[in-house]
Structure formats: structure tokens, C-alpha cells
Structure 1
């Protein structure tokens, strides 16, 4: 006998949502947390004045972190490493993405033997127990073989967007080392929402309004 489905209509969902009280102070705190975690100091300072929301850390303390990020985004890896070494040398030892950027620069400079040795000695141990990082390493090393091809699948690693990604990862590493928080709280809440929806989807007895587009928050209801 087929198990009857548990249906939560969009009307039921909206009704339950309307019963939830969300304080503006909590919303402001989430916004401030996001701005500080992502390194938007000027925006955080302005938001602090406009919303009277106090950040959980002194905004002036962001200066050293932002100096490192600025150096990376300016493609000045040597300066970034020097500043990071003064701030927290442990991150230099443990950051896969920072080492990945070093490897990319060796490849860009055609230092093939040095690049291979660097990948084996520095990057491989950092990716040893992480499948996602192992794929990133393979993708990077692949440039050594396919760089001359017109449609090299890894050429995007030479683009400016890769420097931005590296800066973002290093920013998160510094912020985590200083606060103990891994990423913005809003990001954690979104991951929790995704996990919860996936759990409901696995239990096929549930039909409910699902949020697929997180940029708009629009709910999609597909009754069966």
C-alpha cells in the first residue's frame, strides 16, 4: 500500500511564516556579520551608522586582514605572503588555495620542474584527505600538459577571477583564525536550509513549497 503524502500547501506555508516574528535587530546583525566576514569595512561602517548595529569585532581590526586581501587582488603575492606572515604565519602553511596560486604563478612563468616539485611537496599533502581539493590540484597540474592547447580547460586559472577566489579563501582563513567563525552566519543558515530541504526530498512522502532561487527567496510549489 502506497504511503499517503504529507502535503504542505503554499497557503499553509505562508500562514506559518506570518506567525514567525523576525526582529529587525536580528536581520541587521546578520547583515553586519556578513559585511565584516567578507571584508567590506566601509560598507560595515556606514551600516553601523545607519542602523545603529554594533559589529561583533572592532572594525579597525580588519585593517591588517584587508591589507593581505588587497595585495592578493593586486597580484602581489610576495607582499601578501609577507603581510600574512606577520599576521598569522600558520595560514601560509595550511592554506591550499594560497599554495595553489603560488603553483599557478610558477606555471605561468614556465618554471615546469619547479612547479612539479612544488605541487608534490607543498600542495599534495594539503589535499590528501579532501576530494574537492584533490580535484583542484589535478585541474591545476593539468595546465602543464594542456596549456598550449587553444581550448585548455584549465586556462581560467590564469584569469583575474582566480586571484579573486584566492583572496576570498585567504580572507575566510584569516577571519576564522581571528574569530573562530567559519564564514558568515547567513551562509551557515543557507547551508542548513539546503540540508533540510534535501532531507525532506529524500522522504518522498513530503510535498512542500521549496526554495530553489536563494537570490530571490521565491518558493516553488509543485503539488503531485
Structure 2
């Protein structure tokens, strides 16, 4: 294996200084993050301080957060009502998402021990949709399997996980993404994606070169021992 290239701190800092990133671009990244993650108050304040218009109506942020909170507490009916109040086309044009919400509602009936209601709801609301799609039918069958295992620890992980908090979060995430898409807004924060790309790039570079690493706790670059040995 060929030896790693050594990049001294002075050269590293010069290269970073030569990078041109406008303040406006940085502000847009921050605003994008605040909007997608649902920080309405912070987005309003940042919009005012940075003189930057928000990419969406900021009131929609509060609506999205109310919908997410409703799903996280298991109130699917309230969530569906709020989604339709925000934009009825979201569910009208996305049958898969509507099925996910109805599936979550069935899960909540089972969680609460309302077996009669669960059976009736599954037969009237979900069974017809299962006939339309093999995927829907498989999900319905998996959900109904909860009735066989109830709270038994012997339930397969794929079945038991339907009652976990992660299932509610998953449903809430799908709804949140659909709302953002309806607003012509990306569903993933660009800042998070950029940080992942930077981490990947640093890993690739680390395989080929010795370079100063940023110490986040101190806010300074640290030299590796290999660099310090250079004349």
C-alpha cells in the first residue's frame, strides 16, 4: 500500500479558506432544517433576523407537528382529520398512505383490547383495500396476527414491533413526508444530508491522507502524530 499523503495544518487551513460559501446559502440550509424538523418559533425568528423568506407558510409547520403528536399518542382519527383540514388531496391521491393510517388505527384498537371494534374495522375498512393490493393484504394479515399472539413474548419480532413506539413514529414520518411533498418541500433536511456527505468524504480522505482533524469540543484542529514528526 502506498504511503498516505500528508497535508499540513497550514495547507489545510488555506484550502478551507479558499472555499467560497455564501452566507445566504448557509442561511437557506438553516431555514430548510428548521422548517422540516418543525421548529416554527425558531424559523419565524430566524426568518426575521436573516431577512430570509420561509419556503413554506410557517403555520403549516404547526399543523404538521400537531398531526405528528396525534399519531405519536395513538389518536389516528384526529390525525386524519387534521391532514384533511390541511390538504384533503394528500390522502385522496395517496392510497398507500391512507392504508397506513387505517392500519395504524387497527393497531390502536388491538393495543387497547377493543377486539370487537378491531374485527369490525378490519372487515369494513381494510379488507376491501387488501383485495385491491397484495401488499395491503400482507400488511393486514400481519396486523391481524396480533390477535393470535396478544401480548405473548413468543410473538415474532415482525409482529410484536407493530405495538412498539417505533411503529407510531414510522407512520408519523410517512405522513410528515407526504405533507412536505405536497408543499413542494424536501422531506429530508439538506443540512443533515450535507453532514452525512461530509462524514463520508472525511472517511474516504482518511484512507488516503493524513490531515488535521477538527476537535469539536475545542473548536480547533489537531495534528496527528505522523504529521508532527515531519520536519
Partner of 1:147: 151
Structure 1 distance, partners of 2:94, 2:223, is 47
Q: Secondary structure at the match of 1:187?
A: helix
Which residue pairs with 1:105 in the alignment? 108
In structure 2, C-alpha distance between the alignment counterparts of 1:113 and 1:218, rounded to whole Å: 61
Report how far residue 56 of structure 1 moved. Answer: 1.7
Which residue of 1 is the match for residue 95 of structure 2? 93
Contact persistence 1:143–1:155 (CA under 8 A): no
The TM-score normalised by the length of structure 2 is 0.62
Structure whose CA Rg is larger: 2
Q: Could you tell me which residue of structure 1 aligns to residue 83 of structure 2?
A: 84
Distance 1:163 1:93 in 2: 18
Once residues 167 and 146 of structure 2 are traced to their aligned partners in structure 1, the CA distance between those partners, rounded to angstroms, is 16
Partner secondary structure for residue 183 of structure 2: helix
- State whether residues 212 and 220 of structure 1, in contact with CA within 8 Å, keep that contact through their aligned partners in structure 2: yes
- Deviation of the 1:199 alpha carbon: 4.3
Q: Aligned residue for 2:135?
A: 125
Would you say 1:193 and 2:198 are equivalent positions? yes
Matched, 1:52 2:51: yes
Task: State the secondary structure of the residue aligned to 1:181.
Answer: coil
- Cα offset, 1:155, TM superposition: 6.7
Identify if the C-alpha distance between structure 1 residues 74 and 62 changes in structure 2 by more than 3 Å, giving closer, same or farther.
same
SS in 2 for 1:191: helix
Provide the C-alpha distance between the structure 2 equivalents of 1:143 and 1:217, rounded to a whole number of angstroms.
55
User: Which ranges of structure 1 fall in alignment gaps of 5 or more residues?
Assistant: 129-133
Q: Offset at 1:186?
A: 0.7
Aligned partners of 1:70, 1:22: CA distance in 2, in Å? Answer: 37
* Matched-pair contact (CA < 8 Å) for 1:72–1:166: yes
> C-alpha offsets along residues 128-187 of structure 1, whole Å, 9 cap, x if unaligned?
9xxxxx9xxx8xx7896583339x978776465654554344222211232152311212
8 Å CA contact retained: 1:107, 1:115? no
